[in-house]
Amino acid sequence: MNSFVPHMEIFLPSQQTVWSSLAPVRKAGFVLYGGTAVALRLGHRQSIDFDFFSDQPLDKSGLYKSLPILADATVIQDTPDSLGVIVPVDVSAATAYVKLSFFGNIDNGRVSEPEVTADGVMVVASLVDMMAHKLKVILQRIEAKDYRDIAAMLKYGMRLDEAMAGARALFGKTFQPSESLKALVYFEGGDLDALSGDERAVLVSAVKRVKKIPPCIIRSKFLVDS
């Protein structure tokens, strides 16, 4: 598995503090997705939540055994396939909090290879997989952070048509490329007024360049190779 140097500077002190203690999630087969995963790769913004995905059933008792920091956590979400907690962290004689979310039985697979952080702590989804997920997410909610992440990935060199192809492969008929393209340039609602002119221009330009969505196949039904 390839590695990359994460942009740790985007972390709050509380996230810096818990980072190394999250290493067991890699051994448990979890992969980091979401805004923090994108920010660790690109360093474009601060993101405070950790979203861990696994293709296996969620073993909550195993998580509590392998992650001592969960002992004092407050549970904010608890379903058969998800666990969300707020973890208290002591930082500079004060208490801060870090949100961790774990999701099991993610059966969409992946279209590219995840990478491990250079320090070996965490496996992070590929950019094309993360953009594919973001293109689906913007059809379900209106939040500037998702558009900001997509714009950052586009500026980094990712192709929108390839990410659209990835989303179609991952989500099948539940993903409508035309609706996602429309959503990318409809800057109304939610907090989308927070998007900068540059971010909007990047999104509009990328949408205009999409002429055809190329073929794409699922690389693996597993989010990370065992």
Residue 208 CA from chain centroid, whole number: 25
Question: What pLDDT sits at residue 226?
Answer: 72
Mean pLDDT by 10 residues, the chain (226 residues): 97 95 97 98 95 98 97 97 96 87 98 98 98 98 98 98 98 96 97 98 99 97 92
- SS3 state of residue 110: strand
> Which residue shows structure tokens 């693996």?
220
What's the farthest any 2 CA atoms get from each other in the chain?
A: 55
DSSP 119: T
Question: What pLDDT sits at residue 93?
Answer: 66
Q: What's the rounded Cα separation, in Å, for the pair 83 and 70? A: 11
Q: What's the rounded Cα separation, in Å, for the pair 179 and 197? A: 22
User: DSSP labels for 84-132?
Assistant: EEEEEEEETTEEEEEEEEEE----S-BSS--EEETTSS-EE--HHHHHH
Cβ partners under 8 Å of residue 121, min gap 6: 19, 20, 22, 23, 26
Identify whether the C-beta of residue 203 lies closer than 8 Å to the C-beta of residue 183.
Answer: no
Question: What pLDDT sits at residue 41?
Answer: 97
Q: What's the rounded Cα separation, in Å, for the pair 226 and 223? A: 9
Q: What's the rounded Cα separation, in Å, for the pair 110 and 155? A: 22
**Taking the CB of residue 207, how many other CB atoms lie within 10 A of it?**
17
Identify whether the C-beta of residue 168 lies closer than 8 Å to the C-beta of residue 181.
Answer: no
Domains delineated in the chain = 3-209 (3.30.460.40)
- SS3 state of residue 89: strand
